[in-house]
Amino acid sequence: MTGAACAWYAVRAGLRVVVLDRGPVAGGTTGAGEGNLLVSDKEPGPELNLALLSTRLWHDLSQEPGIGGEIEYEAKGGLVVASGQDGLAALHTLAAEQRRFGVESESVAAESLTELEPHISPSYAGGVYYPQDAQVQPARAAAVLLREAVRQGAVLHTGTTVTALLRDVDASDDTDDATGGTVRGVVTDRGTLRASWVLNAAGTWGGTIAQLAGVRLPILPRRGFVLVTEPLPRVIRHKVYAADYVANVASDSSALQSSAVVEGTAAGPVLIGASRERVGFDRSFSLPVARQLAAQAVAMFPILERVRVMRSYLGFRPYLPDHLPAIGADPRAPGLLHACGHEGAGIGLAPGTGYLLAQVLTGKAPDLDLTPFRPERFEHDGDQEDDQDGSEGGGE
């Protein structure tokens, strides 16, 4: 999704764009996402600023001819609930801090939760409603953005793997170091392409692309499962999740963490998440994780107890140690930019990322300060953890 948004905004800015995808469109993490566009789970800081910008841009895209009617954009709002008074107090504190930065929210008393969600468990102490939270169908959204970018002049090559980066090496350097000099294009399994800039939007495999330039970007895969129920009437109106989900998102633990995240969709099925664990690129189905997610969803919405789960899927979030994406030009490899490492927020943050990088590429000052997202910030943090096996390396 991030690459699609970068292509869209770059073409709109008047740039010539070639998009390379090693598989089909949305064949990686994007196709395994829920399509959440959230401000509710962001603490005040650079990621929240990027989320607020992206929220406005997603709304604009929902009104864009040729796009808005096809991405299943739904401004349904989000409801965060707390099981006890301590959790509710912490939730209210976070909401008050967020409001200072432009996030809209409303406190919801325990007795009023059923006005928003008639089938929610009566066990909750209260919650906070976030009207700015929304959802899209991520695979459709990525495909539509790329289609419209191509209509405006972009070129798309699927099934194309990046194997090396072209570098202009200083003529006085007799070492012939392939990692020296300015990045001037890419070598693929289908040929060579030259470019003024190369943008790394390879998601979970962004670290692999960075390594081709001889720079370190410690992106690790963080596996997550989603359960999909049979189609239902609209029994769940919003995205609803437990307050401990925010702590799980911010956690550095590699162990399994899960908390109830439940939402209905326009097509009828209910999506149930969310789990997080760092197990490399292990694509094995985990029955214990699926059972835990199902149990948490039923505890939140007892009406789901007799609903059938039709399928499940998994994806790998691109995790960076400080939970911020890498966005911007890489001073260690002139000519290379990064737009990856958004973890589970890549769908929501994609428009803002693409919009800001289009400003950078056209010589404009970006609307947000990109310093917190600078790709080189991990340069002296030590070696990358060895749980990314590289078996699925290449551009996405």
Mind listing the pLDDT tens digit for each residue in 136-164? 999 999 999 999 999 999 999 999 999 99
Tokens representing 364? 């404009």
Tokens representing 157? 């090559």
Look at 45-49, 251-255, 262-266, 377-381 and tell me which has the smallest mean pLDDT.
Answer: 251-255
Q: Within 13 Å and on the Cβ side, how many CA atoms surround 71?
A: 32
186, 213 Cβ separation under 8 angstroms = no
Query: Torsion over CA of 232, 238, 241 and 242, rounded to 10 degrees?
Result: -110
Q: What is the pLDDT of residues 233-244, one digit of tens each?
A: 999 999 999 988
Instruction: Check residue 390 and give its pLDDT.
Output: 38
In three-state form (DSSP H/G/I as H, E/B as E, the rest C), the secondary structure along 49-85 is: HHHHHHHHHHHHHHCCCCCCCCCCCECCCEEEEECCH
CB neighbourhood size of 384 (10 A): 16
Strand ranges inside the chain, DSSP E: 18-21, 36-37, 78-82, 106-109, 126-130, 134-135, 155-158, 162-168, 182-188, 191-194, 198-200, 220-229, 239-242, 257-264, 270-276, 309-319, 326-329, 336-340
Instruction: Check residue 174 and give its pLDDT.
Output: 44
CATH topology of domain 1-75+133-219+320-396: FAD/NAD(P)-binding domain (3.50.50)
262, 272 Cβ separation under 8 angstroms = yes
Where do we find the tokens 């200083």?
A: 170
Handedness of CA 134, 226, 253, 295 (dihedral sign): positive
Q: Where in the chain is the domain with CATH 3.30.9.10?
A: 78-131+221-319
32, 314 Cβ separation under 8 angstroms = yes
Confidence of residue 247 (pLDDT cuts 50, 70, 90): low
353, 7 Cβ separation under 8 angstroms = no
Q: Where in the chain is the domain with CATH 3.50.50.60?
A: 1-75+133-219+320-396
Q: What is the pLDDT of residues 206-241, one digit of tens each?
A: 999 999 999 999 999 999 999 999 999 999 999 999
Q: Which residues contact 386 (CB under 8 A, 6 or more apart)?
A: none
Q: What is the pTM of this model?
A: 0.91
Q: How far apart are CA 362 and CA 13, in angstroms?
A: 7
Instruction: Check residue 137 and give its pLDDT.
Output: 92
CATH for 78-131+221-319, options being 3.30.465.10, 2.130.10.10, 3.30.9.10, 3.90.550.10: 3.30.9.10
Q: How many residues does the chain have?
A: 396
First to last CA, the chain: 10
Residue 77 CA: distances (Å) to CA of 29, 121, 269, 271: 24, 19, 18, 15
Where do we find the tokens 């994406």?
A: 325
